[in-house]
Structure 1
Amino acid sequence: MFDLKQIFTAGMILFAVIDIVGSIPIIVDLRKKVGHIQSEKASIVACILMIAFLFVGETILNLIGIDVNSFAVAGAFIIFFLAMEMILGIQLYKDDAPETAAIVPLAFPLIAGAGTMTSILSLKSEFDTPNIIVAIILNIIVVYAVLKSSKKIEKLFGKQGISVIRKIFGVILLAIAVKLFATNIQSLFN
């Protein structure tokens, strides 16, 4: 039932998409603006959102008349653009700066945003659900740890170090987007 390879692969995909390490500058900014970040609350809400979307996301798509493969191809495009943002250091999607560091800016859209939700449904077309749930939970543990120790991480790596890590994950994400596109585009034409 549990497949370590699937858990690891799904976990790495989610880790790259969530990009919690790349979000450290945003988290540090939020902490400076509002003083305190609710790490526990943000992590739990993000976990619930992701697991709920894993189960009802496909049903919602079916109601609109979209199959998982089409969604996965669309998701590949989103992941592709996220990767381009990370690699090139540009911002394609601009959002208003959050006013509070409560659940809304952290749990959604920073942790469980559009890219994460798309990835979860895309993963569902390739991996078993229990393995995806374990991958989500493992990622939330990492997210929580990063939220709790964002000041220490920023001091440890510095701005340059975080930038390098972000670019490395961008390249990994780009490769994932290409694989996701190639895998799901074939089933659309079959």
Structure 2
Amino acid sequence: MNELLGFGLLAFTSFFTLINPLGTMPIFMTMTKDLNTNDRTHTAKKASIVACITIIAFAFSGQLLFNFFGISVDSFRVVGGVIFFLMGMDMLQARLASIKVQEDKVRTYINDISITPLAIPMICGPGALTNAIVLMQDAESVEKKAVLIGTIFIVMFLTYIILYSSSRIIKLLGETGNNVMMRLMGLIVMVIAVEFFFSGLKPILQDIFPVVT
């Protein structure tokens, strides 16, 4: 039971920090500022659903991709650790997502922003996809797989709630509060990145330099 709880906590913490719905809020509000409340709610709901389906699909098909391309999980952990670390550095410096929506182009794709760029790659980015594949590989039991999928649903539901309440949350936290929250999340992501990197690097080095007993 403790093992499942620990795995679920790891999954929740890593997904929530990597998806970073609080960091997505200002960009979401910018892209939906001309929408009414119902349209904004529909956009947040559709983006969360599309991102959730994408993450779950990658979680189950990740191993097939590994086998097809001849990629090892350990190598993916190393690369994932690098990706997480770079994302954590950006978050630690309170920089938002690298995607910047120009005001004169918002209206041209406003009916489709729930899929791109909101769902992919802002909510469901490379960090979240990497995390899903690696954690599914680590979930060796049916119970852990169920915990992982349940955690993904919970995080995406929270993401929807945060985006839905974005106007109130941003006003409540203020610019300083948003920056502090993003820095804290960035620090957590960097810690997860170190764990992922060395957990993948260790078996690779052991294969290259086998210890003779």
Superposition TM-score, scaled by structure 2 size: 0.82
Distance 2:129 2:27 in 1: 20
Q: Which runs of 5+ in 1 are unaligned?
A: none
Aligned to 2:51: 46
Give the match for residue 179 of structure 1: 195
Q: Gaps spanning 5+ residues in structure 2: where?
A: 207-213
Q: Which has the larger radius of gyration?
A: 2
Corresponding residue pairs, total: 189
Q: Is the 8 A contact 1:87 1:168 kept in 2?
A: yes
Deviation of 1:157 after TM superposition, in Å, equals: 0.5
Mark the CA change 1:149 to 1:96 in structure 2 (over 3 Å): closer, same or farther: closer
- CA positional deviation for 1:125: 3.8
Instruction: State yes or no: 1:72 paired with 2:84.
Output: no
Distance in 1 (alpha carbons) for counterparts of 2:137 and 2:82: 16
- Counterpart AA for 1:76: G
Correspondence list, 1:1-190, <5 A: 3-32=4-33, 36-37=39-40, 38-90=43-95, 94-95=98-99, 97=101, 99-100=109-110, 101-127=113-139, 128-190=144-206
Pairwise CA RMSD: 2.0
Percent identity over paired residues: 33
Q: Which moved more, 1:30-39 or 1:175-184?
A: 30-39
Distance 1:160 1:49, change over 3 A: same
TM-score normalised to structure 1 length: 0.91
